[in-house]
Structure 1
């Protein structure tokens, strides 16, 4: 690769990363027997329905994906992930391992970065699963295609604040505590001064859901929202500028 091509490649990665940084915050958080995906979905118009352009996708019965960045790109990546999961299931007659799926999807994203004649995906994704044998698993793929396994991760506009907040959380939280913590993190990092309209979305998979991904469960999502609103209210009351 020539110096000019390398420079152009670096520019493409930077451009895609900036696009992700303008998106609402996405977090993944593992507990004792559950893994949570939580999203701060920014609504740019009051005319939007709350369930429009969801940021959490079902990939397989026990695998969820959350995305920060360009929504249309996230839809394409989700479709690719579903196809990979379906192909693996047909060939091997059991669900796709999350590590294998992450590697395949990351390679697809990286190929779009490396190929200088097509537009890269301006998206960062978080993949989560749970099973009796392996417990909670969580991976994040960057816009460059680089991926890592995490106990807790974040992407989007307030990723640094979210990561700092999650550093203080226990790795052995039970399901309800995990749900409340996910809500608290998203509500705390949301900038109500600049983004007045946002919808909290949550996906979860674990022992409480019998190993199946559940998106926006009425009971657990409301629990997370209430914990988040309480956490933000406490932060506002502690802020000397308020």
Structure 2
């Protein structure tokens, strides 16, 4: 039986124990051509991703990979944007149902676990297919502080101090691992400013690009006194002026 015979069926393993349709979903994440990075610090969790406008006739403001899920939880989704929007809608629905049932907002880890369970079901039934996306969730947990989780198409999720997904995932992960040595020895401070600067530095480094404000998106959830938003601790997206200010700050630092 050839490989083409096995990859026609989602629920049939190859002799090597592989599910090709699930592997194709993982390949779709990197084929989207963008990279996303998420980092959590002492009181802040940050998401940053590229914004690519493929056609000059497109309205750039309608193109986004960062979404607000609950008042305190946000997500960046890398991969097929149609799958991403469907997943975001389901994530919001699950969070709203939790709020209605229990009377308080769902925590980032509980939401990540729920979406991972749903993704895993998508790999079990022939009438479904795994979504070609990786979702990174960040938010503020009242007990644990900033949290970062990534959910993949196979239904695996785990918490991270820093994580990347997309085309340059490997390069970004290597960059973050090297930088984390500075965090552990105390030479790099991950306060609100430190987290934002590290995220921008990571994305710029692995993409070898000096980004303009319109070429990236940044989402932040922070309880820092420096947070300028109306509701500290709530997830929000930075506007273009704020992104430009941080890009300039990082550029001058270099």
TM category, shorter = 0.7 to 0.9
Give yes or no for the alignment of 1:59 onto 2:69.
yes
SS at match of 1:28: strand
Q: 1:11 to 1:191 in 2, by over 3 A?
A: farther
Give yes or no for the alignment of 1:128 onto 2:150.
no
Give yes or no for the alignment of 1:18 onto 2:34.
no
Hey, what does 1:222 align to over in structure 2? 244
Q: Write the mapping of 1:63-212 to structure 2, written as runs, cut at 5 A.
A: 63-167=73-177, 168-169=179-180, 170=183, 172-190=189-207, 199-207=215-223, 208=227, 209=229, 210-212=232-234
Q: 1:105 to 1:180 in 2, by over 3 A?
A: same
The more displaced of 7-16 and 23-32 is: 7-16
Give yes or no for the alignment of 1:34 onto 2:71.
no
CA apart distance, 1:26: 0.9
Q: How far, CA to CA, are the matches of 1:16 and 1:191 in structure 2?
A: 27
Q: 1:228 to 1:109 in 2, by over 3 A?
A: farther
CA apart distance, 1:135: 0.6
Contact 1:26 1:37 in 2 (8 A): yes
SS at match of 1:87: helix
Count how many residue pairs are aligned between Structure 1 and Structure 2: 229
CA apart distance, 1:220: 4.2
Contact 2:108 2:141 in 1 (8 A): no
Hey, what does 1:6 align to over in structure 2? 13
Contact 1:182 1:224 in 2 (8 A): no
CA apart distance, 1:14: 1.1
Hey, what does 1:238 align to over in structure 2? none
Please, which of 45, 51, 55 is the counterpart of residue 45 of structure 1?
Answer: 55
CA apart distance, 1:227: 4.7
Instruction: List per-residue Cα deviations over 1:75-111 (Å, max 9, x = no partner).
Output: 1111111111111111111110211111111122222
SS at match of 1:60: coil
Q: How far, CA to CA, are the matches of 1:176 and 1:157 in structure 2?
A: 26
TM-score of the superposed pair, with normalisation by structure 2: 0.81
Contact 1:131 1:211 in 2 (8 A): no
Q: 1:191 to 1:131 in 2, by over 3 A?
A: same
Q: How far, CA to CA, are the matches of 2:201 and 2:101 in structure 1?
A: 41
Q: Structure 2 regions of 5+ residues with no counterpart?
A: 7-11
Contact 1:181 1:227 in 2 (8 A): no
Contact 2:53 2:63 in 1 (8 A): no
Q: CA RMSD in A?
A: 2.6
